[in-house]
Structure 1
């Protein structure tokens, strides 16, 4: 089928496809993009059946509209998930509660025994586990183990305190 004949088959469907896409998309640019893409795919389709041009264009346009919608939703979710602007600043009561919880946790650190307490205090000061291990004269693995045990113990105490 010659290219000119193919376009004469496709062009009469353009207005209908635009109405169809406008019902599903909010952006006129997206509508135009979907319709043009559908017509281009039809024009380049090797085995296009002249009797089924309308349904083919309708199907392709609807699928392209769904693709645009899925892409927009995915982008919206990603932006929402990673957006700092979406989170409101904490209120004064949240700030006070966080400070009180922090002070309580610091008191619990004093309950820890020797190496666990030393590692946690070093980490609170901003020291890396490796630096704390060097300062305490122990291996990095021993420091990591002590830190992991201390965190687990603090977590248990915190959960017991909240539950009780």
Structure 2
């Protein structure tokens, strides 16, 4: 007969709880707030307790991996929030009109034309990023290292900024 009780047995908690302090110290070195570290540890323990395929011999590494991934998730969420707030903090109070939309479209068209002026690798990386690929994915597509793709992307952006600034300087 199968048990319908979703709670893990007490012996599972006896296996997991000795790791709590170590996991907290690990999370605390990676996160700035006490509460974020505590939340990550509690979530890791709960996931481990409810994971049906948990190997008792590998509890420590499993908990470490889950905790580290949860810390990364906290960083990603914080960064998304920061970017959202930054992007919207400079937004005008009123909606943009057709003039602003026309100017933005013209500027976008001009910028795409400038991308064609870029050198081979820089142009390829920028175009891959414009298609929505991340730096790692762009590097994989182009058969280059991630560092090479990051460097090409940084150089391309710097060139485009210089060209854009020069074009505005003549106005």
What TM-score comes out, normalization by structure 1 length?
0.52
CA gap 1:82/1:63 in 2 versus in 1, 3 angstroms = same
* TM-score scaled by length of structure 2: 0.50
Partner of 2:16: 10
1:110-129 per-residue CA deviation (whole Å, 9 max, x = no partner) reads xxxxxxxxxxxxxxxxxx99
**Structure with max Cα Rg:** 1
Structural mapping, 1:10-159, within 5 Å = 10-84=16-90
Runs (4+) of structure 1 moved beyond 3 Å?
none
Q: Point out where structure 1 has 5 or more consecutive residues left out of the alignment.
A: 88-127, 130-147, 153-159
Gaps of 5+ in 2: 1-7, 107-166
Q: CA deviation at 1:163?
A: 2.7
Distance 2:25 2:56 in 1: 22
In 2, distance between residues paired with 1:161 and 1:18? 52
For residues 12-58 of structure 1, what are the alpha-carbon distances to aligned partners after superposition, in whole Å with 9 as ceiling and x for unaligned?
00000000000000011110100000000000000100000000000
In the TM superposition, residue 162 of structure 1 has moved relative to its aligned partner by: 5.9
Distance 1:3 1:76, change over 3 A: same
Count of equivalent residues: 94
